[in-house]
Amino acid sequence: MRSLAEDLGINLHTVNKAYATLRDEGYVIMLGRRGAYVADAPANPAAGMDESALEAALTKLATEFKASGGTRHAFLAAAKRAAQDLD
């Protein structure tokens, strides 16, 4: 971890925080002395996108679509097509 901080020329604390964030989000598993390993899938199912995050993302898209001249009907139709994979 120190060699990573040295090679990038950034503070060790920044690298530590980055690793901690990746661990908290479930992307990386820390095995103490043996190092950090990339996880196969997010270990914490809540680490993914939940409903409030989804709504925030959709609000952003809706605002952008409206600014580009889109209608509610077109937005909902597109959302329905995009949601075909959800069961």
Partner 1 sequence: MSPDLISLVTSASMALITLLSGCLIAATPWLTRGREAFAVSVPETAQADPRIRRMRRAYLACTLAVSAASAVAALALWSANPLAMAAIVCAPVAAGFLLMLVFRARVMAIKRSEGWGTRSARLSTVAGAAEANAPRPLPLAWNLLYLPVVLATLALSLALYPAMPDPVPVHFDAAGVADSYMAKGWQVIAMPIAVQAFMALCLTASHWQILRSRRPSSPEHPVASAIAYGMFARAQSATLLVTGIVITVTIAIMPLAFAGVVTSDQSLVALIVIIIAAILPNLAVSLVYGQAGSRLLRRMTASSELGFDDDESWRLGLFYVNREDPSVVVPRRFGVGWAMNWGNPKSWGLVALFVAAIAVFAVLVEVLFR
Report how far residue 9's alpha carbon sits from residue 7's, in angstroms, rounded to the nearest whole number: 6
1 closest CA partner among 43, 32, 42, 39: 32
Nearest-approach distance from CB 66 to partner 1, in angstroms? 30
Binding flag, residue 8, partner 1 (CB under 8 A): yes
Binding piece for partner 1, criterion CB under 8 A, among 4-12, 24-32, 43-51, 75-83: 4-12
Output the six-digit token pair for 64.
């952008």
Nearest-approach distance from CB 34 to partner 1, in angstroms? 15
**Coil, helix or strand for 48?**
coil
Binding flag, residue 9, partner 1 (CB under 8 A): yes
Report how far residue 64's alpha carbon sits from residue 22's, in angstroms, rounded to the nearest whole number: 30
Report how far residue 54's alpha carbon sits from residue 61's, in angstroms, rounded to the nearest whole number: 11
Binding flag, residue 7, partner 1 (CB under 8 A): yes
> What is the footprint of partner 1 within residues 12-41 (CB under 8 A)?
12
Nearer to partner 1 (CB atom), residue 33 or residue 73 = 33
